[in-house]
Amino acid sequence: MELEGAVELQQAVRFALFHTLQAGARAEGRAIPAKGLTGPGYDGHTFWDTETFVLRPLTYTAPRAAGDALRWRHATLDLARERAKVLGLDGAAFSWRTIGGQETSGYWPAGTAAFHVNAGIADAVVRYRFASGDDAFEHDAAVELLVETARLWLSSGHHDSHGRFRIDGVTGPDEYSAIADNNVYTNLMAQKNLLAAADAAERYPDRAWGLGAGPEEVAAWRDAARTMLVPHDGTLGVHPQAEGFTQHAVWDFAHTSPERYPLMLHFPYFDLYRKQVVKQADLVLALYLRGEAFSLEEKARDFEYYEALTVRDSSLSAFVQAVVAAEVGHLELAYDYFGEAAMLDLDDIYHNTRDGIHLASLAGAWIAAVAGFGGMRDYGGSLSFAPRLPRRLSRLAFCLLFRGRRIRVEVDHRQARYALLRGDPLEVAHHGGAVALAADEPVTRPIPPAPPRRAPNQPPGRAPLRHRHSSSGTGESSKEDRS
């Protein structure tokens, strides 16, 4: 990946990709821990963020490593089946935190109840299958992973009297909420999981048959997906993180002094759980991972609403906020979040890098650049781009591996250039328009201007750390400055 205009961030992205590849490519059939092998933090455990974040760059740059990691999860399937049984559910309940496959989170409302890990695994499986074309993996592991996670969702939800499929009493990604009904991220990711399982079962009827998944069960998955409840607050015109969330009191940010962050070290969870305060992207993560389920204007409104509530007491947030900020048009804000994610360990921003690097945030630096400024999405298995650079970057270039192809994307402020360096012709999208790629025939497309938007507010003192070395050298502050 090449970044022009930000020498330090160029180095940081290389540092990030080095660690991501080192931890991923040499996991050798074991879990990829949250710290890789760089330190004792989290005692070597792996969490939900491996599949949701770390496997994303690996899938498109070192697909074999992504496949290995998913095969490791597949190897823990019997333990996950046992866990589901203990919880009174069908299918498999993969661990939110683990080393060898057993759930090791000590406090179930924040661990076990975060069932979204299962949809994150399913999503990574689908992504890897599309990007790698690894048919052996699909036949041997993917169908089974998708079927068993779909079963979990079907048994963990139910239809209400209006026919809507509800998933109650679970915990979403945000660790300042727990055991809520109809977490939007969870429900939308479960929806995708259910549909992916139905598709896989129909593609591999022999495997589905062997797993006991007949047409009735597949129809039930499709029905649950079709009727999945996605709560919306009509008064505020935004999506609540979970049902009722936007009715809760807003955290008293004005009277929370800087030294009381991170909040979980200074306030009881009783207080955090019941109020509108967000540790890490949750609804905003849904805007990215299930972006096709929202209009651009919905994303802009939701993003602005959650910006004002998100304190980023977690390293799993800045790069997600960067991606959605870039998409809705807050490019300078996206750049600041990108910088924070990329520099997290090099600048020891959290004062705990001695315990090991923050692998998901390092993978997140790639995500912020590729999905943020490159606007790369892979909904439905096709590649689309909507690149736009912040003023402080003059050029971004990156390569992706996709089904044996090698694609290079190069972006400046005026245009994007798509080149197929290797492999068969392919159609991708640029800002919604089709782009046919063939080897040695690079295509150039102009960058449409970003929609003008008022800069959103963060809670006082919780704006992203402004990256110190501006590329422009003018010292000029962006028009999106937050006071």
Which of 40, 244, 381, 425 is the binder for its own copies (CB under 8 A)?
A: 244
Which of 29, 161, 258, 440 is the binder for its own copies (CB under 8 A)?
A: 161
Residue 390: cis peptide before it, omega within 30 degrees of 0: no
Restricted to residues 267-296, the positions that interact with its own copies (CB under 8 A) are 267-271, 273-275
Secondary structure of residue 442 in the 3-state scheme = coil
Which of 8, 181, 223, 298 is the binder for its own copies (CB under 8 A)?
A: 181
- 70: which 2 tokens? 């998913």
Find where tokens 């049902």 sit: 243
Q: Based on CB atoms, which residue is closest to its own copies, 248 or 466?
A: 248
Q: What is the 8-class DSSP label of residue 370?
A: I
Q: Based on CB atoms, which residue is closest to its own copies, 87 or 429?
A: 87
Find where tokens 């929370």 sit: 256
Q: Based on CB atoms, which residue is closest to its own copies, 165 or 185?
A: 165
Interaction between residue 424 and its own copies (CB under 8 A): no
Side-chain half-sphere CA neighbours of 160 within 13 A: 12
Rounded CA separation 403/426 (Å): 10
Please state the closest distance from residue 167 (CB atom) to its own copies, in A: 9
Interaction between residue 262 and its own copies (CB under 8 A): no
Q: What is the 8-class DSSP label of residue 17?
A: H
Interaction between residue 263 and its own copies (CB under 8 A): no
Cβ-based neighbours of 325, under 8 Å, separated by 6 or more: 303, 331, 333, 334, 337, 372
Interface characters, 200-239, with its own copies (x: CB under 8 A): -----------------------------------xx---
- Calculate the alpha carbon distances from 3 to 335, 339, 471 in Å: 12, 12, 10
Q: In the annotation, is 441 catalytic?
A: no
Which of 44, 133, 169, 423 is the binder for its own copies (CB under 8 A)?
A: 169
Q: Based on CB atoms, which residue is closest to its own copies, 65 or 117?
A: 117
Spot the catalytic one: 175, 217, 327, 332: 175
Query: Which helix (H) or strand (E) element contains residue 411?
Result: strand 405-411
Please state the closest distance from residue 89 (CB atom) to its own copies, in A: 8
Please state the closest distance from residue 181 (CB atom) to its own copies, in A: 6
Q: Which stretch binds its own copies (CB under 8 A): 97-105, 118-126, 246-254, 403-411?
A: 246-254
Q: Based on CB atoms, which residue is closest to its own copies, 275 or 430?
A: 275
Q: Based on CB atoms, which residue is closest to its own copies, 196 or 272?
A: 272
Rounded CA separation 257/248 (Å): 21
Please state the closest distance from residue 86 (CB atom) to its own copies, in A: 7
Which of 15, 45, 104, 109 is the binder for its own copies (CB under 8 A)?
A: 109
**Contact present, 124 and 55 (Cβ < 8 Å):** yes
Q: Based on CB atoms, which residue is closest to its own copies, 270 or 452?
A: 270
Residue 296, phi then psi, degrees to nearest 5: -60, -40
Secondary structure of residue 316 in the 3-state scheme = coil
Q: Which of 140, 402, 174 lies closest to 284 in space, CA to CA?
A: 174
Rounded CA separation 460/457 (Å): 8
Interaction between residue 483 and its own copies (CB under 8 A): no
Which of 15, 108, 253, 350 is the binder for its own copies (CB under 8 A)?
A: 108
Q: Based on CB atoms, which residue is closest to its own copies, 88 or 449?
A: 88
Question: Which ranges in 248-317 belong to alpha helices (H)?
Answer: 269-273, 283-289, 296-307
Query: Which helix (H) or strand (E) element contains residue 97?
Result: strand 97-98
Q: Which of 402, 389, 385, 326 lies closest to 134 in space, CA to CA?
A: 402
Q: What is the 8-class DSSP label of residue 337?
A: H
Please state the closest distance from residue 275 (CB atom) to its own copies, in A: 8
Which of 26, 64, 85, 158 is the binder for its own copies (CB under 8 A)?
A: 158
Edge to edge, what strands does the sheet with 395-402 contain? Answer: 2-4, 395-402, 405-411, 415-422, 443-446
Restricted to residues 30-89, the positions that interact with its own copies (CB under 8 A) are 86-88
Interaction between residue 261 and its own copies (CB under 8 A): no
List residues binding its own copies (CB under 8 A): 86-88, 108-109, 112-113, 158, 160-161, 166, 168-170, 178-179, 181, 235-236, 243-244, 247-249, 267-271, 273-275
Q: Which residues are catalytic?
A: 175
